[in-house]
Amino acid sequence: MSADKVVFGLNPYGLTYHLGLQAAGTARANPKGAGLEGFIDLCTELGARAIEIFDPWLRGMSDDQLAALKARLAALGLTPIVSWGLMMGPFESALRSARALDVATIRCGLTTVLCGDRAALGEKWPELVANVRASLNQYGPIVADDGRMLAIENHQDFGADELVGFCEGTRGVGICVDAGNTFPVAEAPMDFYARVAPHVRHVHLKDYRVQFTDEGYRLVRCAIGDGAVPVGKMLDLFAAHHPKLTAVLEPGALEARHVRWLTPQWWRGYAPKSAEALARCIAAARVNHLTEDADYRTPWEKGDDSVLVDYELAMIRRSAHNMRALGL
């Protein structure tokens, strides 16, 4: 993978404790969270060329402050992406940030669903899908007319066909692929990537080690390149469609994700899946998997907050090392 095909960088979601985002406003939040300034410093340390910025960090800035930030990022050689979602406050905030920083891509999360668990919403899942489609139909053309793109993320909620359907349903909408989030919807990584490839505009480089359980499997964060996600093959595929794709490191959440696809109720809300497609997903999940008796817990899950900053920074640095080995 050549560095001239993928613009490598960071996003904040694999560093939530270090940056002060984890459990914000509670007693367990990091009182010394590094925030945007610390995030920019880390991007500089790791030689990043792209930076995905949490939109709430920008909302309190004046126009002059945003202009100064734009000039600073340009001087550092950092291509900005605004990180926003339908559940993260007003669209107008993300659009203002994108205009002020001259951002081409607004990453857009769609729901708060995790672990592919549509069944937890019961009869509200179709309503949620309809609301997402209505929002994209409203915001996509606005962004397109502004010369930008909404990149909708597979946030452990939607499968490849559904995301492509959103893209084909309105202009101004592309896809932000979260590389690890094919497993939560029981789709094999390369199957998913091949389906969405023409629509991809941005990538979250996430990886998981998978631990099989009696109910399905548990997805455990790890350094990107150490788990089950075929990162190199994915980037080669995407780069063939988009030679200047942005891709940012995002180790998984501090809480493992338990995908209970072996329980009948989990499948409610999903279209039928062939045995062959499910087999490909299971085979992919076996790569570098954890044994069933392994301790999957992060320091956050163990309550050992004192080591969390070092834990997150060590993982992001190893991830950057692994990506350099791929040529990024």
- Say what the pLDDT of residue 116 is: 98
Q: What is the pLDDT along the chain (328 residues), one digit of tens a residue?
A: 555 789 999 999 999 999 999 999 999 999 999 999 999 999 999 999 999 999 999 999 999 999 999 999 999 999 999 999 999 999 999 999 999 999 999 999 999 999 999 999 999 999 999 999 999 999 999 999 999 999 999 999 999 999 999 999 999 999 999 999 999 999 999 999 999 999 999 999 999 999 999 999 999 999 999 999 999 999 999 999 988 899 999 999 999 999 999 999 999 999 999 999 999 999 999 999 999 999 999 999 999 999 999 999 999 999 999 999 988 7
- 263 burial level (CB within 10 Å; 0-12, 13-18, 19+): exposed
- Phi/psi for 97 (5° steps) reads -60, -45
The two most distant CA atoms of the chain are separated, in Å, by 57
- 114 burial level (CB within 10 Å; 0-12, 13-18, 19+): middle
- Say what the pLDDT of residue 2 is: 53
Count, in order, helices (H) and strands (E) of the chain. Answer: 11, 11
Which helix (H) or strand (E) segment holds residue 38: the answer is helix 35-45
Lookup: tokens for 253:
């959440």
Which helix (H) or strand (E) segment holds residue 153: the answer is strand 149-153
- Say what the pLDDT of residue 3 is: 58
- 293 burial level (CB within 10 Å; 0-12, 13-18, 19+): exposed
Q: 270: Cβ–Cβ under 8 A, 6 or more apart, which residues? A: 118, 159, 185, 186
Which helix (H) or strand (E) segment holds residue 40: the answer is helix 35-45
- Say what the pLDDT of residue 328 is: 79
All structural domains of the chain with their residue ranges: 6-325
Q: Say if residues 285 and 190 touch (Cβ distance below 8 Å).
A: no
Count CA atoms within 13 Å of residue 212 on its CB side. 11
Domain at 6-325: CATH code: 3.20.20.150
